[in-house]
Chain A
Amino acid sequence: MVEAVMTKSPATASAPKPILEIDNLEAWYGESHILHGINFNVRPGEVVTLLGRNGAGKTTTLKSIMGIIGKRTGSIKFDGQDIIKTSSDKIARKGIAFCPEERGIFASLDVRENLMLPPIVREGGLSLDQIFDLFPNLKERLNSQGTKLSGGEQQMLAIARILRTGARFLMLDEPTEGLAPVIIQQIGHTIQRLKSEGFTILLVEQNFRWASTVADRFYIVEHGKIIDGFANSELQANMDKLHTYLGV
């Protein structure tokens, strides 16, 4: 099933070559073996969502791609280049941007400094005006301390920050966690807009109903492995399995 999903395009038979290919990825936190051979791919312009229970290995997968996990083996090919041994700063400079689950807003920096922190890695990043168009709240809070923002505003700041860089491959770790429904809706609109502008997005999410409004494909992560995968159009047909996988 997983292989089928990996080779099948959700839209056309002549699917573009994957921009990200993960092959047999294993990762460790110290002595703890967390990922046990993850395989999946993401094609340019897609929104792919990793679903799974807490502790399944979704966040570790993103961190492994980003080079944040110290010990990892297997293959992570981005744009045809294997980046498994590349340091995280060089990975970022290849055009991968990461928005962590805890948002990573810096308390000692104001909103403007938080926004300007990541360096521009490629041309084509959003200008401040375009960012304020997406997230008007941020414009009013530019001089506030980053951590004084509401949870929703912090999430907007965390996403806005990586849009400036010019990276076209975004990894968002549970962007809706702990947010009010209206903010979740706003973030959904933002992701849809980014997708329409050609961004490729790898999403980790527990809220699969929300994820189904933005995702092209899903992969299910359990015990550090991809155990299933399907296109968004197959979601209804897989609902029973999904409930079992996620325990909902």
Chain B
Amino acid sequence: MNYQALFAQLLVGLINGSFYALLSLGLAVIFGMLNIINFAHGALYMMGAFAAYFLLNVAGIGYWPALILAPIAVGIFGMILERTMLQWLSGLDHLYGLLLTFGMALIIQGVFQNYFGSSGLPYAIPDELKGGVNLGFMFLPIYRGWVVIFSLIVCIATWFVIERTRLGANLRAATENPTLVRAFGINVPRMITLTYGLGVGLAALAGVLSAPINQVRPLMGADLIIVVFAVVVIGGMGSIMGSIITGFALGIVEGLTKYFYPEASNTVVFVLMVLVLLVKPSGLTGRAA
């Protein structure tokens, strides 16, 4: 067994898992609160990467400020989408939200493709994170290690805010019974808008993290979003911790499959999804409807 290759694939799996976790976490937050299956998530992830690209190439603002500014900018864009379009779907069947966000994704991707084509635009790794570390059993590029650790921190922080703080309690309560929560004096529509902005911001953050690894492409989100939806279904729609654990776990499973049986690496997540749906339709950590 070639351990160097195995660990390299595990690292790739962990990196992918980081993106899966960040994106599926955002999807779970949005689904939990808005009851919307946000198909525009991949396009918003792509916008995060492009925002970092523009900040660097137009305004001369580098990676570190972009980690904060790009999610805020795309998050605000998401809040405008929510206020102007998504809020009108409140109370309707999931299908309407899915169709609207799918249409939004096509428009956003189409606009970027029109101006930037389909090929990737380079985004350099920041100087502080260049190079790598020889761990003995494998060579670890510092940037990739940073992505895994930073994603984990962001995921755990998000989980903490939602599950362990007063703000999170308001969010969870509003997920259950928004009418009553509003009757207690909490401005639920504003909370919904901010939650959508948070979910979108997480997607954009994943986009910024991804830019130096995967380059910046209009369809970078479209490639990823289908797998991310499978992750969310496996973890359980709306489950915060389920999305995080499943995101990282499936990244690792994918990485291991690339090593042991590469032909199945693109389908293993979907096979798992089918199995989970057959055995536990609400997902591994989701509650039955």
Contact = CB atoms under 8 A, between A and B. Distances in A.
Contact of A104 (B166, B180, B186): B180
Nearest to B190: A89
Contacts of A113: 166, 169, 173
A71 to B, nearest CB: 15
A92 B182 CA distance: 8
B280 interface: no
B166 A89 contact: no
A18 to B, nearest CB: 22
A182 B186 CA distance: 34
A246 interface: no
Nearest to B164: A113
Nearest to A91: B183
A109 interface: yes
Interface residues of B, number: 18
B57 interface: no
Contacts of A117: 169-170, 173, 181, 184
Given A104-B177, A106-B176, A108-B175, A89 B186 contact: yes
Contacts of A109: 169, 172-173
A68 B179 contact: yes
B183 A88 contact: yes
Contacts of A116: 166, 169
Interface in B74-94: none
A67 interface: yes
A121 B172 contact: no
Interface string A99-137: 010001011110001001111010000000000000000
Contact of A107 (B176, B182, B184, B187): B176
A93 interface: yes
Contacts of B186: 89, 118-119
Contacts of A93: 185
Contacts of B172: 106, 108-109
Nearest to B165: A113
Given A106-B172, A106-B177, A118 B185 contact: yes
A38 to B, nearest CB: 19
Interface in A202-216: none
A39 interface: no
A165 interface: yes
Contacts of A89: 182-188
A202 to B, nearest CB: 14
A144 interface: no
A67 B185 CA distance: 11
Contact of A68 (B175, B183, B185, B187): B183
A66 interface: yes
Contacts of B169: 109, 113, 116-117
A104 to B, nearest CB: 5
A40 interface: no
Contacts of A199: none
A98 interface: yes
Interface string B100-138: 000000000000000000000000000000000000000
A121 B177 contact: no
Contacts of B181: 117
Nearest to A103: B180
Given A109-B169, A116-B166, A88 B175 contact: no
Nearest to B181: A117
A54 interface: no
A160 to B, nearest CB: 13
A92 B188 CA distance: 13
Contacts of B179: 68, 88
A91 B188 CA distance: 14
Contacts of B187: 89
B34 to A, nearest CB: 16
Of the listed residues B166, B177, B182, B185, the one surrounded by the most CB atoms of chain A closer than 10 A to its CB is B185
The 8 closest A-B pairs by CB, nearest first: A92-B185, A118-B184, A113-B169, A108-B172, A88-B183, A104-B180, A106-B173, A93-B185
7 contacts: A67-B183, A88-B179, A89-B182, A93-B185, A100-B180, A106-B177, A118-B186
Interface of B: 166, 169-170, 172-173, 175-177, 179-188
Given A67-B183, A89-B183, A89-B187, 4 more contacts: A89-B188, A92-B184, A106-B173, A117-B181
